[in-house]
Amino acid sequence: MEKEASLYASVGGLEGLRRLSQRFYELVQSDEVLASVFATFPPDHVEHVAVWLGEVFGGPPGFTEHYGGHQALLASHLGLHIRDEQRIRWLALMSRAIDEILPGRPALHRVLMAYFDWGTRIAQQVSQQPSGTDLGDPGPTPRWDREGLVREA
């Protein structure tokens, strides 16, 4: 039953997240507000986003094990100086990608967007600092479930 499955299982695991990430970046690349922000992103970005989301939503800790973990995720947003308009467009395109890839699942859509709303605020905040800023230890990769941010015991 969807109600009891983990978020990771509900989105179709890594394969589902790859489809979501892929569709999101297709939308980004033809968007007049965001295309220039992502003009030089590396080809493995789509995979990295899928792996990050998998870890956040309760799947295997692939981003921590292979891609530098929470600190690397934050650091990749340094110096981007994300504006409100860009964050809001990012959310709108992600919402559309979810509708297309995971259609007809309003409860799941709400939970995912709650995470993206939270996460994009952090990305925007971090992005105001120059690239190369020492972020210290931001702690482990956050986990998100149907109740929101999972607090460490």
Which positions lie near ligand HEM, rule CB under 6 A?
Answer: 37-38, 40-42, 44-45, 48-49, 52, 67, 73, 76-77, 80, 82, 86-87, 90, 116, 119-120, 123-124
Residue 127 CB-half CA count within 13 A: 15
148 has which bridge partners?
Answer: 145
Say whether 66 counts as a known binding-site residue.
Answer: no
Nearest distance, CB of residue 49 and ligand HEM, angstroms: 4
Minimum CB distance to ligand HEM smaller for 10 or for 126: 126
State the amino acid at position 19 in one-letter form: R
Q: Which residue is nearest to ligand HEM (CB)?
A: 119
Q: Are 106 and 19 in contact (CB under 8 A)?
A: no
Nearest distance, CB of residue 105 and ligand HEM, angstroms: 19
Q: Dmax over Cα atoms in the chain, in whole Å?
A: 46
* Cβ contacts of 2 within 8 Å, gap of 6 or more: 10, 105, 107, 108
Minimum CB distance to ligand HEM smaller for 104 or for 130: 130
Nearest distance, CB of residue 120 and ligand HEM, angstroms: 4
Q: Binding site for heme: residue ranges?
A: 48
